[in-house]
Amino acid sequence: MPLRPDERRRKEASEATLSALADLITSLRSLDNRLEELVRKLDAKRDDPEKEQPATKKKDYTVQPTIRSIIELPPSFINNYEAGQAKTYRLQKREAALGRIHLRVQKRIAKYSMWTLMAVVVYAAITFALFLSSKEANILTQTALNLSQRAHVTIGRKDGVVADFIVPSNRKASAEILIYFQNSGHLPAKFTWGTDASLLAAGGTKQSSGITYTHPFKGFLSRTRDIKTGSIGEQGESYTIAGDSIFVSTLGTISQDDLAALPANNMGLVVLGQFEYCDELGTHSKRMFGLRYRSNAPTSSLSFDLAQDSNWPIMPLPKATATTEHLEPCETSSEREQNKNKETK
């Protein structure tokens, strides 16, 4: 801990006094040594009668007087020296106390720093766990949102009618067979469909139902991009089914005479077909279906029921060639965003 200016001046004055006193003591010791050397020289020159006797002289056990120099210092100097010593002692004692306090403070700071570090680590762990849980929750929320918003196409209306005969008032005009597709999702669906074949029961009395199928399946949805020009082309016919709506299409036609003969002929008719749809969220589905004719239906709107409805496997996209890249049948929102970014660059 730094000293205050007045304490620093007192300390410097005390150190100067001690230095001067140390120099004085050194000079006095040197003077005392010189005086003792002079006394020894005088004693050696003094006549000693015992030196004339032969070598068998007696030892002298008398105590030789010792000459000491006494220097009297002024009382003010002694008082200043003692005051300086006392002040130095107090300063040293104070510095020692401050050092002990500083050591205790450092220990407490180290202790609190350790607890602070542990608290930071725990807080970081909790924050990371919350981040992971919130990320997972966001993914689940986004997934649930996509499931609730995506297109979902099925065969039939909400009342259960899958197909129906529409008979005109003119007896010479053929009746139409209508088929219904329902998009119960909220997003529009890009859609295509068609019939593949019709089957007759073995016990039928006629070899033909008399139905002319007007909407054969013409292929699945596909899109390609020209690598050189970047232009996108679509193959096959498609329709758009708005969200929460019904799509009606003509499956085929039949004369009114053949229509009247269907129940009695016990046709056991099964119409096979398939449909495909996709949306901008990346939903893509292909399905096969089969419609079965009911000879004893109570009404014409219940003449068909759904005999088969199953998934059709979706094959991977073909590999790109030197000139063509194959795309998903529906443009997704991420693809649209990428195209916008390319246009702005």
Q: Please determine, for residue 64, whether its predicted confidence score (pLDDT) is greater than 60.
A: no
Question: Based on the domain organization, do 166 and 265 belong to the same domain?
Answer: yes
Q: Please determine, for residue 251, whether its predicted confidence score (pLDDT) is greater than 90.
A: yes
Torsion, CA 303, CA 289, CA 201, CA 269, rounded to 10 = 30
Q: Is 140 contained in some domain?
A: no
pLDDT at 66: 60
236: pLDDT confidence band, cut at 50, 70 and 90?
A: confident
Q: 195 by DSSP, 3-state: which?
A: strand
Residues 6+ apart with CB under 8 A from 273: 193, 194, 195, 196, 217, 288, 289, 290, 291
> Which residue in this structure is represented by tokens 């306090």?
101
Q: Does residue 116 or residue 245 have the better pLDDT?
A: 245
Domain count, the chain: 2
Q: Is 130 contained in some domain?
A: no
pLDDT at 155: 94
Q: Please determine, for residue 68, whether its predicted confidence score (pLDDT) is greater than 80.
A: no
Question: Based on the domain organization, do 94 and 170 belong to the same domain?
Answer: no
Contact between residue 85 and residue 13 where contact means Cβ atoms under 8 Å apart: no
Final residue belonging to a domain, choices 64, 99, 115: 115
Q: Does residue 26 or residue 225 have the better pLDDT?
A: 225
Q: Does residue 310 or residue 13 have the better pLDDT?
A: 310
pTM assigned to the model: 0.57
How does the average pLDDT of the chain come out, rounded? 81
Q: Does residue 244 or residue 108 have the better pLDDT?
A: 244
Average pLDDT over every residue of 27-50: 73
DSSP 228: T
> Which residue in this structure is represented by tokens 């279906």?
289
Contact between residue 187 and residue 337 where contact means Cβ atoms under 8 Å apart: no
| 184-195 tens-digit pLDDT | 998 999 999 999
pLDDT at 52: 47
Question: Based on the domain organization, do 92 and 166 belong to the same domain?
Answer: no
Q: Whole domain around residue 104: which residue ranges?
A: 5-115
Question: Based on the domain organization, do 210 and 291 belong to the same domain?
Answer: yes
Final residue belonging to a domain, choices 115, 138, 167: 115
Question: Based on the domain organization, do 55 and 198 belong to the same domain?
Answer: no
Question: Based on the domain organization, do 157 and 243 belong to the same domain?
Answer: yes
Average pLDDT over every residue of 30-35: 79
| 47-56 tens-digit pLDDT | 555 554 455 5
Question: Based on the domain organization, do 186 and 326 belong to the same domain?
Answer: yes
Question: Based on the domain organization, do 183 and 79 belong to the same domain?
Answer: no
d(CA 168, CA 66): 159
Q: Is 139 contained in some domain?
A: no
Question: Based on the domain organization, do 258 and 186 belong to the same domain?
Answer: yes
| 284-309 tens-digit pLDDT | 899 999 998 887 888 878 888 998 89
Question: Based on the domain organization, do 203 and 263 belong to the same domain?
Answer: yes
* H-only helix segments in 178-314: 256-265
* H-only helix segments in the chain: 5-45, 75-149, 256-265, 333-344
In this prediction, what percent of the chain has a pLDDT beyond 70? 83
Q: Please determine, for residue 254, whether its predicted confidence score (pLDDT) is greater than 60.
A: yes
Q: Please determine, for residue 110, whether its predicted confidence score (pLDDT) is greater than 70.
A: yes
Q: Does residue 119 or residue 174 have the better pLDDT?
A: 174
Q: Please determine, for residue 61, whether its predicted confidence score (pLDDT) is greater than 70.
A: no
Average pLDDT over every residue of 38-62: 61
pLDDT at 267: 67
pLDDT at 27: 78
| Among the ranges given (46-55, 214-223, 229-238), the one the predictor scored with the smallest mean pLDDT | 46-55
Contact between residue 298 and residue 215 where contact means Cβ atoms under 8 Å apart: no
Q: Pick from 294, 277, 295: which is nearest to 286 by CA?
A: 277
Question: Based on the domain organization, do 13 and 97 belong to the same domain?
Answer: yes
pLDDT at 70: 62
